[in-house]
A and B are shown apart, each in its own frame.
Chain A
Amino acid sequence: MSVRGRGASPGGVLLVALASVGTAVLVLPLVALLLATPWSALPTLVGDPTVLQALRLSLLTAGTATLVALALGVPLAWVLAHDDLRGAWLLRSLVTVPLVLPPVVGGVALLLLLGRRGLVGGALDTWFGVTVPFTSVAVVLAQLFVSLPFLVLSVEGALRGASRRRALAAQTLGASPAYVLRRVTLPSVAPGVAAGAALCFTRALGEFGATVTFAGSFPGTTRTMPLAVSQAMDSAPEQAVAMSVLLLLLSVAVLVALRGRWLGGLPGAHAVRSGRTPR
């Protein structure tokens, strides 16, 4: 790597030095994790029934949370992307709060809403005998709360970047707004939606604070991978390391799949994202 431009000015050297430290801050912990990984024992450690149980639960809940986020988040992003909408700034602020909120606060808030004595949870318990905490549904809700903003903001950005000309053309040809969204706008923002969904999925997969506070921790029902890692750290550190590597590989795999989609699958994506109409 070399920095082109003014050569080795003192300012440039300082910037490169700071950038190197920044890179080290991000990379060194993961290097330590990979170095500590007992690679030969990894298949045995990861093949442990309790690990597979936690992995299955994590994939199932994070997958469900992502699907629900797509169903709710794409329309929400579509609403936000309309400049003529009054109060859009307020709506966007509300959507952004969970993004900057410590997840454990989200867990407390969910408990106050849906717990057995909560705002809505009390009525659910009294009228239907339904309690949400300690169920896999609670895990999905906790994941949805923390990951939905990622999807909404990504998709909104993509919608804003997409050319409105084709949408307008379709509109003048008599297409309904729903038809334009489904057949014109959405296909052109597909890469943005995919990126948002991937971010949403990985964020849901890593959710810890809101889950442990709101959903509790029980193998098979609510103890997802991050909770299992944290629990194993005290009693079986090797297993905790193995599970951590598994989560790392999974997250990197999502990233790689996403890049493949961006670079290979949809060559027009960059043109669309930069605001130009392809072809």
Chain B
Amino acid sequence: MSGRARAAGLGLVLGIAVAGCAVPAPAAPRDVTPAGTPVALEGTLVVLAAASLTDVVTDLAARLESAHPGLTVETAFGASSTLAAQVLTGAPADVLLTASRETMTVATDAVGGEPVVVARNRLQLAVPAGNPGGVTSLADLADPTLTIALCAPEVPCGALGAQVLARAGVSAAPDSLERDVRGVLTRLRLDEADAGLVYRTDVAAAAGQVEGIALPADVDVPTDHPAVVLPDAPHPEAAAAYLALLRGPTGRTVLAEAGFDLP
């Protein structure tokens, strides 16, 4: 490989890495204060969210912060099962958003709380831009010559993926089982894997780097994204405001733009 081609290759990889870091600019905080919030909110609100909700949760956090200058919103993302385990071990969090009812139940069974479904999502067969592996259907996930990245079966996207694959009668041959759905997305963005199963919203978030192939209707299984204000929340008012923002018109618009179905 010539020096120039090598430099171009590195530039491509670094470009992808930089593009991956771009955070959507928050819009003007005109309509963000949820009706009925009496006082300015202060302190540090901690939101734990499933990896698939990264962009939406970050966007809404910025909007809430601009509406309440005294408030800082800290966000942490990961596999829902990891987050549920963190809540169980007493992580000081205010809001929990998961990618499945099952993982939410693990948390609320232990600590309580009344979860509400804020969005629904679907999986898509995803490939890097240009589809280098020539992937056309779920059956290609069984091809041992292709590099396949899936979610680990312990996390919601992996459990959902297993359901989809079972319905399609495909026994996949994955090369890596990632800790959360964004791990799979990263493999596809960097062109290290030929195909994977990620949420439709992840494909939208990585538009230009990743292409999605919709699943046949008979194997497609939607999943719910529930949210809850944790009973031990150190900042219950700010947590309620965050959830109200998420369920209100602003949140619904942001969710819909990201490709989520609304309940």
Contact = CB atoms under 8 A, between A and B. Distances in A.
A64 B179 CA distance: 26
Nearest to A221: B175
B175 A117 contact: no
Contacts of B178: 216-217
Contacts of A219: 177
A113 B147 CA distance: 18
Interface string B184-216: 000100111100000000000000000000000
A159 B31 CA distance: 70
Nearest to A215: B176
B176 A231 contact: no
A237 B6 CA distance: 45
A232 to B, nearest CB: 8
B168 to A, nearest CB: 21
A231 B187 contact: no
B54 interface: no
Interface stretch (B21-29, B78-86, B217-225, B227-235): B78-86
Contacts of B191: 116-117
A234 B81 CA distance: 6
A92 B190 CA distance: 33
Contacts of B9: 117-119, 122
Contacts of A169: none
Nearest to A214: B192
A133 B192 contact: yes
Interface in A107-137: 111-112, 115-119, 122-123, 126, 131, 133-134
Interface in A82-112: 111-112
A206 B10 CA distance: 30
B179 A217 contact: yes
B81 A117 contact: no
B245 to A, nearest CB: 29
A134 B176 contact: yes
Given A217-B152, A234-B81, A234-B82, A117 B12 contact: yes
Contact of A216 (B12, B85, B155, B175): B175
B1 interface: yes
A116 B10 CA distance: 11
Interface string B1-37: 1000010011011100000000000000000000000
29 contacts: A111-B192, A112-B13, A115-B13, A116-B147, A116-B191, A117-B12, A117-B13, A118-B13, A122-B1, A122-B6, A122-B9, A123-B1, A126-B1, A131-B147, A133-B192, A134-B147, A134-B175, A212-B179, A217-B152, A217-B178, A217-B179, A218-B174, A218-B176, A222-B176, A231-B152, A233-B85, A234-B84, A234-B155, A235-B81
Interface of A: 111-112, 115-119, 122-123, 126, 131, 133-134, 212, 216-219, 221-223, 230-231, 233-235, 237
Interface of B: 1, 6, 9-10, 12-14, 79, 81-82, 84-85, 147, 149, 152, 154-155, 174-179, 187, 190-193
Given A126-B1, A217-B178, A218-B176, 13 more contacts: A111-B190, A116-B191, A118-B9, A119-B6, A119-B9, A123-B1, A134-B176, A216-B175, A216-B177, A217-B176, A231-B154, A234-B82, A234-B85
8 interchain residue pairs of minimum CB distance: A216-B176, A134-B175, A235-B154, A234-B81, A123-B1, A234-B85, A234-B82, A122-B9
